[in-house]
Structure 1
Amino acid sequence: MSNSFFTFQQHLSIPHLIKTSDTPHYENVPFEIPGNWVWTTLGNIGIWQSGGTPSRSNKSYYGGNIPWLKTGDLNDGLIINIPESITEEAVANSSAKINPTGSVLMAMYGATIGKLGILTFPATTNQACCACIEYYAITQYYLFYFLLSHRDIFIAKGGGGAQPNISKEIIVNTAIPLPPLPEQERIIIEIERWFAFIDEIEQSKTDLQFIVKKTKSKILDLAIHGKLVPQDPNDEPASELLKRINPKAEITCDNAQYRKIPKNWCACKLVDICSFLSRGKSPKYSEEDKTYPVFAQKCNLKDGGVSLEQAKFLDPSTINKWNEVYKLQTGDILVNSTGTGTAGRTRLFNTNCLGNYPFVVPDSHVSVVRVLKSICPQYVYAYISSDSIQQYMEENLAGSTNQKELYIGVLENMHIFLPPLAEQYRIVAKIEKLFSSLDNIQKALEV
């Protein structure tokens, strides 16, 4: 036998440490291990104890100077903060036990089974935690990483009921392959080296995702200022287009005086290029009839696109109260108009999402921007989605902190930089091409 194995056997024979006679015999070992390792159990490599919950009816038990940890406080790392505490009296009169600094904790109940923590100060736990408070021939972090590697196994042993759980007995009888102490240290160093490398990769992915998001914002900014595609002097000027499709439109700046946009662009109000610009209406819902969906704010998905999966449904007896103009059409731009954190969220509607539904109407928390036929809706959608316009809407929200409102007048009076129609389509094509490349990068990062 090697010297390292002989040294390891000496560790096993130290009083209070693992006895070789205690090491279980496996006819079918879980897997082969090096000759200087041994198979044993978690119960043989340490002292384990579970905790308890002092009576909640005795208020004097809580708010003391002894930290009292619950499974929600476990973070798969060093425990440096435990919000709740109990008194010495509570410890004396309950099954709660003090676990010393360095104890490795593991959750035994519910959705947190297998969650881990290492105490950086003495603390008690509730009965849903089990603590290894002393270590025999094993280092703290080797035990920690072994338990981390076995989380799925512990979860499987907990069962699939409403309140899955594992017992202390399951933990202490779990087999563990034990290397010599020097090799445990080398294993820990190697694990942490690889974890650090993985963290670097994850951080790089996060950084790149941020860059992708910022790049999309920059593309939209360039697009709405006429810097994304070259201008064609043969295009019909936007001012002529606007006069033709809406003679009453107010062109707020003519081309010669307005220096922030290209020569053949013009600026106007959003209302001037719309055939319909309105909030939806408050519907009467039906609990039984699922024929006519109502488009609500949650249908404008946070991560992009629209969906009717969470839509409620219109009472069919009220259909005659909804003018045909309220039925959403492909190309409608939908803007959430109520609620902190969601007001201003903008999505482009397509009737493809209807499936077998005959139509969908918006509720009163969603504004519909429907542009005139000679305006490209995808360009207007890109314009409203840009950071500068999103900021404009954010700055013009009204109401209380918890219930912000985007009034329809804010949308009506929004100034829009309008390119010639042909350029609108060139801009949209360029945006779609660039966004497609960025989306491919995003998908690759999610693998």
Structure 2
Amino acid sequence: MTDSHSPLDLPGEEHDEYHPDDEYHPDDEHHPDDEYERAPRPSGHRRAKKKKGRFGCLFVFVVVIALVVGGLYYGVSWVSDRLAGGGEPEDFDGVASVAECATGAGDVQITVPAGYSAGQIGQLLADEGVVASSGAFTTALASSSVRDGERSMCTGMSGAQAAELMTNADYIGGAGGITITAGRTAPQTFELLSGATGIPVADFEAAAEDPAIGLPAEANGNIEGYLFPDSYNFGPEPTAVDILTQMVARWQEVATEVGLVDDAVPGYTQFELLTLASIIEKEVLLPEERPAVAEVIYDRLEDQCAGVPEGLLQMDSTVNFIKGETDTPFTTDEDRASPSPYNTYRFAGLPPGPIATPGRTAMEGAVNPSDEGYCFFVAAGDGSNSSVFAATLEEHNANVRRAQQN
């Protein structure tokens, strides 16, 4: 969490910020240490607020009614499950092995669409005979969340077994499946893909330079940021080109869905928005905070922040990218003196390209920034992984003091 603009920062003191525990292995070819000059983003590119017309209001009303009706349907289904079983939902005795169901022995392939609620997933499983009732699944699931994606499952599973399979990332994708989490660099992703498929890392490095994988021209052959984090099943005997092609295509699909396109934010290209989203991904953990981080970045790029040098993002995540480290939340004075063009403490504007692969919520945040006047943020320091945002340096300094006391 960037808190580098506070008078409380002393020379030589490390900067404390949150980063996921991934390791960076940046490709030196894309990280020159030559002098690199970037003009700051000129002001006047503020995000226009969207206006809702009568049609838009009607559409929202219809959607709300649909959600209410859908919620009532699944709620009634859950209640009826309980009533039918004398207070407890009907449940199967279960199968011998959850792992076997998830890795090949399953007789049902379940695809969980994005955005499905626990009740909807439970009903889907009940309809396919995987569980005896929606309530058996939702009761066992409790407060755990389920990621969308494909699963291999068995009919006749208990609610607890289905919940275990649905929440274990190792089972997503079915037999031969793999889940790539957001915030990883391309080299880290190659290592994971190699471990899952047995294909040498060198093959993925070569495939990344193959035009057949479908990188946008704006990427200039640099795959960083385009290997979309998701659950995949690459099928039998895929090649490195097959795998990277599928991941880049998935990135393009999601970018289109969330509106990450040229001028989605006036004056910014799709590549710039992707770069911005990658910084958002690495700066905060909580999805709901990503629009606020986006606003901080835009306001700094457009020189809207008193107390911040013109156009400097001063994001420690970009410095850690240079270092090849993300297992530490700190940067030092020496780190921040790096001549790399990825050093946003030294060079104004966005870095030359993405610093990791952003997930959907980071991409959504990049194109839907908040509008609160935020210029600063710092880790709350209370163990919640949350951040505290401020519009002024004075407010930020107060937030820093509170964080230090936690």
- For CA contacts below 8 A with separation 6 or more, give which structure has more relative contact order: 2
**Pairwise same-fold verdict (TM > 0.5):** no
* Greater Rg over alpha carbons, structure: 1
TM range (shorter): under 0.3
- Greater strand percent: which structure? 1
TM value normalised by structure 2: 0.21
TM value normalised by structure 1: 0.20
